[in-house]
Amino acid sequence: MATVSTNDFKNGMSIEISEGLFQITEFQHVKPGKGGAFVRSTLKNLRTGAVLDKTFRAAEKVTHAFIEKREMQFLYSSAGSYSFMDNETFEQLEVQESSIGDAKNYMIDGTTLKLMMYGDELIGVELPPSVELEVTETEPGLQGDRVSGARKPATLETGLTLQVPLFVDQGTRIKVDTRTGEYMTRV
């Protein structure tokens, strides 16, 4: 395992410490007038998403964790597990629903995604900024009911329910923002 000095910290770098696997979201090198220098950091746990504030001594060595991003195609889901195929080696990977998280709301069969892997462990799924999904269930918009900005609930092909404008009908393809989970536009 490669080690990295706390003096070489960068935002986005992944490290492994006794508390777990973390990504550096923010750090500050502090040199007080009296005493030794230290590095104050904010870390995000890559497995749970929890945030940790930790202080390291200057030049302290920590294990550098290499997170590999693999491009994989989502094949299908069955009984709480999701199957992916590596686009380069054509190997198949089956993971549990708990490892996927909220990404399952934006994945349809055949979608190509980037999976973040630490060794053989799936850490997370990197989604595109937006996806196109079909509305499978929604109430019809009433004629004459055109209040500006009015919304109604709609269920998409992945099972995600979100608020859409009144003019969106069943069978319409819409673009959804994967970061916020909100309706963007009709396709």
pLDDT digits (tens, 9 = 90+) for 88-132: 999 999 998 888 888 899 998 888 999 999 988 888 888 889 999
Q: What is the DSSP letter of 139?
A: P
* pLDDT tens digit sequence for 48-84: 889 999 999 999 999 999 999 999 999 998 888 999 9
Task: Cite the residue boundaries of each domain of the chain with CATH code 2.40.50.140.
Answer: 68-126, 130-186
Amino acid symbol at 182: E
CATH number among 2.40.70.10, 3.40.1440.10, 2.60.120.260, 2.40.50.140, domain 130-186 = 2.40.50.140
Greater model confidence, 146 or 18 = 18
Compute the average pLDDT of residues 124-147.
83
Q: Please give the model's pTM, rounded to 2 decimal places.
A: 0.75
Pairing between strand 51-57 and 61-64? unpaired
Query: What's the confidence (pLDDT) of residue 144?
Result: 61
Compute the average pLDDT of residues 23-36.
92
Task: Cite the residue boundaries of each domain of the chain with CATH code 2.30.30.30.
Answer: 3-64
CATH number among 3.30.230.10, 3.60.10.10, 1.10.3720.10, 2.40.50.140, domain 68-126 = 2.40.50.140
d(CA 157, CA 108): 8
Class of domain 3-64: mainly beta
Percentage of the chain surpassing pLDDT 70? 96
Give the start-end residues of each E strand in the chain. Answer: 3-5, 14-17, 20-30, 38-45, 51-57, 61-64, 68-78, 81-86, 92-96, 112-118, 121-126, 130-138, 151-156, 161-165, 173-177, 182-186
> Among the listed ranges 12-16, 25-29, 118-122, which one has the minimum average pLDDT value?
118-122
Query: What's the confidence (pLDDT) of residue 162?
Result: 93
